[in-house]
Structure formats: structure tokens, C-alpha cells
Amino acid sequence: MFNEKMYALGSKRSIIREIFEYCKTRATEIGAENVFDFSIGNPSVPAPKEINDAIVELVQNENPVLLHGYTSAQGDLGVRTAIANDTNERFGTALTPNNIYMTCGAAASLTISLRALIENGEECVVFAPFFTEYRVFIENAGGKVVVSKPMPKTFQIDIDDFEGKITEKTRAVIVNSPNNPSGVVYNEQTIKALCEVLSRKQQEYSHPIYLIADEPYRELVFDGIDVPYLMNYYDNTIVCYSYSKALSLPGERIGYIAVSPKAQDSESVYLAICGAGRSLGYVCAPSLFQQVIKKTIGAKVDVNIYKENRDILYSALTEYGYECVAPDGAFYLFVKALEDDAYKFFEKAKSKEILVVPCDDFGVSGYVRIAYCVDKARIVNALPAFKALAEEYKNS
């Protein structure tokens, strides 16, 4: 009658969506200001003014066919040229427009790339904690998810564990830095060690192992921290970029895939990406937003707003006795639950109207994620409840 696997995916909402829906209902019961919803990663910082100005100007002045018509399947040439040039300037790469494929955000970038790279039964390594949808995307491409565990406390990659997870069947590895849900940025030392293992393993198995850099949070870093650009460390790299968080445009569905020109058979990989986009029905990312991106290259959101939220929350929670992973980017705080079972902790927090996400589905148990992409007032107002919760555990 219908595809059972798809039915299972559609009928079971992700835990984040479940909690988010609960928050909406609860807000109608007790007032939104009394619900401390930290569940979903919806950017709270407004999109830069240049974005709205560009939309208005394009709508008023641009040729309607360019604005609302189909572009080439891989995206408008002028847009891809602008992105390639900007990336080359920032990171010293040698991308051309023929390395860039415009997409409907990082989810599409990942789905297309995985479909292009993985054959049935091949393996894709992900680093815990990882964005829960990786499992859906990899399995949908016919691949098998292999989870590598993190270093305790720092949540950097455990290189020895990673090396042990690579087999002859490994086709791809996904790196997400800054990380959802930990907020950790993988440092250069970690990236170099990871790339050294990959280079050695692809030689040993005589086939390429692709490094997929999932980068929706690249621009959201604090205190001048550097996020290594993976193409500069490893040739077989494919970047899955998105403007959802970088420019606070998650509902507009715009991003791109960049295939390193130094990748083995780079042109064929790009064509496989075009083929995967075609087979998945993703031809032509939204035309208006392609043009908006071209016009606003270099625009930035004010990350200091997220940094202020992070600082308030991190210092208060650690003072109350919570153990938090120090986050350098994104807008998530990864906090050790005050008991082993993160779901039980979630229920106790919920009884104080604090809504956080238990992270078992992210591949790490005993932790919860706090999405601090919310108004500062919500954070400040929630602090007494966080404090009372910690005290309740101390006294129990």
C-alpha cells in the first residue's frame, strides 16, 4: 500500500519537534513568558538588514524571469561564481562555479551528497554527538551509520576510536563543526589528525573516503575562534553549506555544495551530485534567494547576541553545579543531566517549565541540549528555575 520505512519516519516526530509542539500547547495554558522553551535551533537574531534590502530591490527592479524562473539545475552561474570567488578569497581555495551546486539548505546538501557518494551497504562514519537527521539521510542513501565516540569532557573527536571505525566499506565521514548539539569547534590539531588517518586508510583500501563538512554553523563562532576549512587539509572534501543559521534564513531553504577541485575525479563527483539532485527532485534552489545571496555576499548576523546568551547561561549553570561542555560556536549548550537518565532529568526540568532536549538520539546518553537562540529575557527568567532544579537534586 505504501512504503513502510517512510511511514515510520513520518509517523514518529523527532524528539525536538515533539518538545517544540508541547511548548506551543503549554504556552496557551500558562502564557508563553512562563514556558522556558530551549528546544529548537531556530535563529533568534534577525537576518542582516542587507538581506531585506536586497529582497526589496530585487523584487522592484530585477527581471522577473531571473527572479522567479528556473535557473540551471545546479544553480545560476553568476551566483555560483560569486560564491566560488568569495570562498577562494576567504580560504585560499581554487573553486570555480563548476564546483558549486546550489541547494535548499544543509539538509538537501547532505541528502544529495550522500546519495551521490554512497552505494548500498557502504558505511558513513559520524561523530557523537551528531545531528539526529544524519541517520535518516545516510540510511535513505542506502548507507550504514557507524558512530565514533567523543573524547570525554572536551567532546573533541577521539582519533583512536575513529581509526578503529574505518573499514573497507567506509565511503564517507561527516564532520560538523561548530557542532550541533555540543557547540564544540574541532581544533586544528584534531582536524590534522583526522585527515592523516583518512589519507592512510584510503591508501590502504585503494579507494577514496570522502570527508563531508556539514557547515551550517561555520559563521557562528565566538572570541575569534578559527574553524579549519577542511578542503585545505584533505583533498577528498565536500562542503555542505547553508545560510539557514549563518544569515538567519532557515525558512528560505538556501545553501550549496562545494566539491573540492582537488578531489579525486572531482568532475565526476560533481556530476554524481548533479545526478543525485536530479534523482531526488532537487533541481534549482529557490531563484529569488539565489540572487539575494549573490547580492549580499559577506553579510553577517550579529553573533555577539548569541555570545551574550552563551555567557549568561554558561556562567550561571556552572555556578549552580551543572557540568557544561565549553561551547565555542553554534547556539547550543551541552549539559550533563543531574542523573544518569537524561529523560528522567528532562521530566524534572519540565515540571519547572524548562524544556531542553535529551541527547540519546544524538548518540550520547546522560546529556541534554539547551538551544540558547532565544531572547535574553527567556534565559534570565529561566535562571531561578535552573537553580531550583539543581538544588532539588542536591537535597534528594
Place of cell 550504514: 144
Per rule CB under 6 A, count of chain residues that contact ligand PLP: 13
* Residue 105 within binding range of ligand PLP, rule CB under 6 A: yes
Near ligand PLP in 155-194, by CB under 6 A: 176, 180
Residue 63, class by beta-carbon neighbours within 10 Å (0-12 exposed, 13-18 middle, 19+ buried)? exposed
Round to whole Å and give the CA distance between 209 and 169.
9
Does position 132 interact with ligand PLP (CB under 6 A)? The reply is no
The burial of 347, by beta-carbon neighbours within 10 Å (0-12 exposed, 13-18 middle, 19 or more buried), is given as exposed
d(CA 84, CA 86) in angstroms, rounded, equals 6
Q: Which of these ranges, 144-152, 242-250, 345-353, 363-371, lies near ligand PLP under the rule CB under 6 A?
A: 242-250
For residue 247, CA distances in Å to 74, 178, 243 come to 21, 15, 5
For residue 388, the minimal CB distance to ligand PLP (Å) is 30
Q: Which of 37, 76, 122, 214 binds ligand PLP (CB under 6 A)?
A: 214
User: Contacting ligand PLP (CB under 6 A), which of 131, 222, 282, 386?
Assistant: 131
CB within 8 Å of 95: residues ≥ 6 apart = 83, 84, 87, 88, 258, 260, 261
Applying CB under 6 A, does 216 fall inside the site for ligand PLP? Answer: yes
In angstroms, give the least distance from the CB of 94 to ligand PLP: 26
Taking CB under 6 A as the binding criterion, the range among 100-108, 148-156, 230-238, 281-289 that sits at the site for ligand PLP is 100-108
Mark the segment that binds ligand PLP (CB under 6 A) among 72-80, 102-110, 119-127, 357-365. 102-110
317 binds ligand PLP (CB under 6 A): no
Q: Rounded to the nearest 10 degrees, how much is the dihedral formed by the CA atoms of 15, 140, 235, 130?
A: 10
Least distance from ligand PLP to the Cβ atom of residue 130, Å: 8
Among 41, 97, 277, 329, binds ligand PLP (CB under 6 A): 41
If 0-12 CB within 10 Å is exposed, 13-18 middle and 19+ buried, where does residue 334 land?
Answer: buried
Does 290 help bind ligand PLP (rule: CB under 6 A)? no
Minimum distance, C-beta of residue 213 to ligand PLP, in the bound complex (Å): 11
* Rounded Cα–Cα distance for residues 83 and 68 (Å): 20
Residue with the closest Cβ to ligand PLP? Answer: 105
Closest CA to 372 of 36, 26, 30: 36
Rule CB under 6 A: which residues touch ligand PLP?
41, 105-107, 131, 176, 180, 214, 216, 242, 244, 250, 255
